[in-house]
Structure 1
Amino acid sequence: MSAVRLEKLRGAVRSIREEKVFSVDWAKTQCRDLAPAYVTKILKQLAKDGHLEVCKENKQTYYKWLVEDPREVDHWIEKQVYRQQVKSVPLADRPREQLLEMGVEKLTDAQLLAILIRVGVPGESAVQAGLALASRFEERGLARLIDASLQELKPITKAMRSDSYCQIMAGIELGRRIASLRDIEPVLPERIRGSDDAISYCSRRFSRLAADGVQEEFHIVSLDTQHGPIASHRITVGTLDASLVHPRE
């Protein structure tokens, strides 16, 4: 069903993509096989999401494309089709949500690759693509991925496109550079011996939650005998403005 919706939306956008500026009536003519209301809905959503600019002239409504890169429109199309299904997908197949909830260190190699791949293709999700890549490089070592060309990776997964490849290579290179800096400036084991240390640790550990969270959450951080952080544990998720914690928890 999703594949049908995807092709329908792609066909509609492809029909109006060639004209830089166009009228609503012209768009409906180009998409004569589709219901006029459906075409109008597409135009309004494209404008709302910043891909089209609405222009008025002589009581006539015109639309002007604001994006030059067709890949941006392709990504928009995929989001329209698949984003409504996200909430019904198990958490294990939603690596971005897992990263925000549990921390990046809890994700598998396949899940990290899925985040870099971003979007899948009909018949293969980004998670499946990440798993395919991780499995292929499991024996050779994931570090060998940096030496792989786009043409080498394409046969492994249909979701491997030029933008996905660039994101993976950029992520690997960024990690390599950060690792080299850590080798030059060794990081001492973290210890929490007082409130200042606790505030410093929590500010870093829960920065994503503080920035993106919509509900208050109560977490505890467990320490080893040397006062080093072992792990954090989410105890409760509260309402929009409070987190209710019972003493027995």
Structure 2
Amino acid sequence: MKKIKNIPKFDRPREKLQKKDAQALSNLELMAALLGKGVKSRDVFRVAKDVLKVTENNFDNLTVEKLEKVDGIGLAKACQILSAIELMKRLLTKDDVKIKTAKDIVKLVEELKERKQEYFLTFTLDGGNNLIRERTVFIGTLNQSLVHPREVFADAITDRAASIIFVHNHPSGNLTPSREDKLITERLIKTGDIVGINVLDHIIISKNGYFSFKAEGILEGKNTTG
């Protein structure tokens, strides 16, 4: 068995990655680094080799059950591999995301539903409604004195964005926009008009779903840009 401890330290996957970078590792070494160790009857490289055979050109149809058929892969390792693949796919495709409805944004911020603090995010878009960048602008209780239009739009101007969408969560689960939420939105819309960046929507998200200012008609008559 080709045990990690029997390999010269500078040739071990994780040490090699640390000293050089991930690009210096072969696919086999990358998978071995992800798995960490093998099992009693099989070293990590043998397990990694079999996993690569299963995953090769088959990412879209890969399941926990298929991975568990590999000798040395249990539920925990299968979930670890699938999570790494899904994260990679999301990061690689995020730049090509086209925003058509509020649901397209909600899909990108599902984790906000479980957050215990309020988060205020911005999504900048180009003229074709393609996502340029997502940013967390503020964390804490949302109020007008803390959400500065200058900070919110500074990055949007740098991005040369045509439009912007705001998102924040309600840890309480209540989706009804507060008076403060409405005042902040109006203030940001006015700033958007001044700098020429259209405010497309303000979305409130919670464990109970989401609320779209645009879908509810709250933005109508307030936005003069675009």
Q: TM-score range by the shorter chain?
A: 0.3 to 0.5
Answer 1 or 2: which has greater helix percent: 1
Give the TM-score normalised by the residue count of structure 1. Answer: 0.34
Give the TM-score normalised by the residue count of structure 2. Answer: 0.37
Per chain length, whose mean CA-contact separation is higher, i.e. which structure has more relative contact order (CA < 8 Å, sep 6+)? Answer: 2
